[in-house]
Structure 1
Amino acid sequence: MPHAHAHDAHAHDGHHAHAPRVAVAITVSDRSAAGERDDRSGPAVVAALRGAGYSSGDAVVVPDGADSVAQALRAALADGARLVVTTGGTGLSPRDHTPEGTREVLTREIPGIAEELRRIGAAEKPAGMLSRGLAGVVDASGGAAGALVVNLPGSPAAVASGMPVILSVARHVIDQLDGSDH
C-alpha cells in the first residue's frame, strides 16, 4: 500500500491546474458503525486515494443496509465527490445490501470494473467471486458533477488489490463524464 503524504497531493495531478478532485471512502459495517470494531478498510481506501492525488477526508462509516448506503452516496456526491469507493456489504450475509443501495444511485453501471475486481479477488481466494459489488457512474445533475462509484469487499486485502484497478481508470472515467474526448 503506497504511503500518503499530504505535501505531494498536487504532484500527481499536474495536468489539472485546479484543486485536486474530491474522493470519498465509505465503510459499510454494522460493527464499525456501532464502535464494536475498528475500521481498517476505510483508512486503507483513504490512503490510496490521497496517494493518487485526490482530496479525501477520513472514511465515512455507515451501518449495513441499502438505505444507509444510498444516503451516504448521495451525501458524498452533494459534497462534490468525483470518485466514491465503498468497502463492505458486498457479500451474501442477510445484511449485505451495499450493491442494492448503490444501484439506487447509479445512472449507468460499468460491468468491466466490477468483473475485474471479482477476477482478481477470486485469484486470491475462491470466495472472491462471491462479491456482488457494483461499479458505475452517476451523471452530472442539479449542479453536482458526475462521479465514479465502486463497491469493494470489506477487507484490507480486497482494498489493497482493488484500489490500483480503480485508480487505473478513475481519471479517464471522470474526464469522460466532463465531456473530454477519449
Structure 2
Amino acid sequence: MSRTAHVITVSDRAAAGVREDLSGPTGADLLIAAGWSTGVTIVPDEPEEIASAVRAAIADGSRLIVTTGGTGIGPRDVTPEATLPLLGTVIPGIAEELRRIGAVKVPTALLSRGVAGILDGALVVNLAGSPGAVRDGIPVILGLVDHVLSQHAGGDHA
C-alpha cells in the first residue's frame, strides 16, 4: 500500500495569507513521523475548492487525506458538506471518536461536524482546524488507516 498522505487546510484567512497555517504543518509533521510521505494544500472555505483538493490529492496517489478546518457551525464552515458527497463509503465511527476524544479536553469539540469515509480507495477524514485537534486526531487515524484500507480492498480481518 502507498504510504502517501495529504493534509488540506481549509481556511479563508490562511488561503489569503492573512493568517499562518498551524494545523496543516502539524498534521504533516505527525504523518511524516509515522512514515507517511505528506504534502499540505491550503484552500479557502469554498466547497468546490475543497472537493477539488481532495480529488487532486487522490489523483496524485494519496491513500490518506486529512482535512483540517471548516467543520464547525459557522456560516463559512462547509468542509463536511464538500466532503460527504464525495464519499462512496461513510465511516461514522471515526468522526464520532474524534469528537469524543476532543471533548475530553475541549467540550466545544462536540460542535465539529467532520465526516470520514472512503473515496477511490483512500481514507478521507475531516478534523477541526486547531493544532490541538490535529494532534489528538492524527493518532486515532493512524491507528485505523491500514485496517480501513485493507478491509476496503477486500482484505481479511487481521
- Interval of TM-score (by shorter of Structure 1 and Structure 2): over 0.9
How far apart, CA to CA, are the structure 1 residues paired with 2:131 and 2:90?
A: 24
Superposed displacement of residue 122, structure 1: 1.2
Match of 1:99 in 2: 80
Match of 1:35 in 2: 17
Say whether 1:137 aligns with 2:112: no
Say whether 1:72 aligns with 2:57: no
Residue 29 of structure 2, aligned match among 23, 47, 56:
47
SS in 1 for 2:118: strand
Residue 150 of structure 2, aligned match among 155, 169, 175:
175
How far apart, CA to CA, are the structure 1 residues paired with 2:149 and 2:3?
A: 10
Q: 5+ unaligned residues in a row in structure 1: which ranges?
A: 1-15, 141-145
Structure of greater relative contact order (alpha carbons < 8 Å, 6+ residues apart): 2
Identical-pair percentage: 59
Larger Rg: 1
Match of 1:163 in 2: 138
How far apart, CA to CA, are the structure 2 residues paired with 1:60 and 1:174?
A: 23
Q: 5+ unaligned residues in a row in structure 2: which ranges?
A: none
Contact persistence 1:64–1:95 (CA under 8 A):
yes
User: Runs in 1 of length 4+ with deviation above 4 angstroms?
Assistant: none
SS in 1 for 2:38: coil
Q: How many aligned residue pairs are there? A: 157
How far apart, CA to CA, are the structure 1 residues paired with 2:139 and 2:79?
A: 21
Q: Aligned-pair RMSD on alpha carbons?
A: 1.1
How far apart, CA to CA, are the structure 2 residues paired with 1:54 and 1:174?
A: 14
Match of 1:84 in 2: 65
Q: Deviations over 1:89-125 (max 9, x none)?
A: 0001111000001012111110100000000111111
TM-score by length of structure 1 reads 0.83
| Matched residue type, 2:19 | R
How far apart, CA to CA, are the structure 2 residues paired with 1:34 and 1:135?
A: 27
How far apart, CA to CA, are the structure 2 residues paired with 1:133 and 1:53?
A: 25
| Matched residue type, 2:8 | I
SS in 1 for 2:129: coil
TM-score by length of structure 2 reads 0.96
How far apart, CA to CA, are the structure 2 residues paired with 1:54 and 1:171?
A: 12
| Matched residue type, 1:90 | T
